[in-house]
C-alpha cells in the first residue's frame, strides 16, 4: 500500500513536470505581411504569394487583392520561412523571414519583374 502511494505521487509529480515543460517549450506565433508590386511599383491584384516552411516544406498561399497586400498569421517564430509571389508567367525573387527577425508582425514586400 505504501509503495502504491509513493508510485502514485511520483507519477503525479512527473505528469505536472511534463505539463510545465510543454507549456514552456510552446512556440510563440507571429505574422508576416507585405505588398506585391510590379516593375513600375504598382500593386499587383491577383498575385499568388507563397509562404514555405523551410522545416516541413509545407506551403501556404494567399491571393492579393487590388492593393497588392497579403498577410499570413499564426506562423512560428522558431521556423524560417521563404516567401515569393507569382503572377501570370513571372515571379519575385524569394525572400526569407529568419528566426533572427524577432518582430511580432514582420513586413516583407515582394517585387515581380
Contact call for residues 87 and 112 (beta carbons, < 8 A): yes
pLDDT tens column, 79-94: 999 999 999 999 999 9
Interior CA angle at 60 toward 88 and 106, to 5°?
A: 100
Give pLDDT, residue 44: 97
pTM of the complete model beyond 0.85:
no
Which domains are present in the chain? 29-111 (2.60.40.1120)
Amino acid at each position: 500500500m505504501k509503495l502504491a502511494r509513493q508510485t502514485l505521487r511520483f507519477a503525479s509529480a512527473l505528469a505536472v513536470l511534463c505539463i510545465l515543460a510543454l507549456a514552456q517549450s510552446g512556440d510563440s506565433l507571429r505574422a508576416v505581411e507585405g505588398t506585391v508590386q510590379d516593375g513600375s511599383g504598382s500593386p499587383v491584384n491577383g498575385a499568388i504569394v507563397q509562404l514555405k516552411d523551410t522545416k516541413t516544406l509545407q506551403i501556404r498561399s494567399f491571393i492579393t487583392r487590388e492593393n497588392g497586400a497579403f498577410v499570413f498569421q499564426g506562423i512560428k517564430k522558431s521556423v524560417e520561412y521563404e516567401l515569393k509571389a507569382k503572377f501570370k508567367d513571372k515571379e519575385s525573387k524569394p525572400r526569407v523571414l529568419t528566426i533572427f527577425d524577432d518582430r511580432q508582425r514582420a513586413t516583407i514586400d515582394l517585387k515581380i519583374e
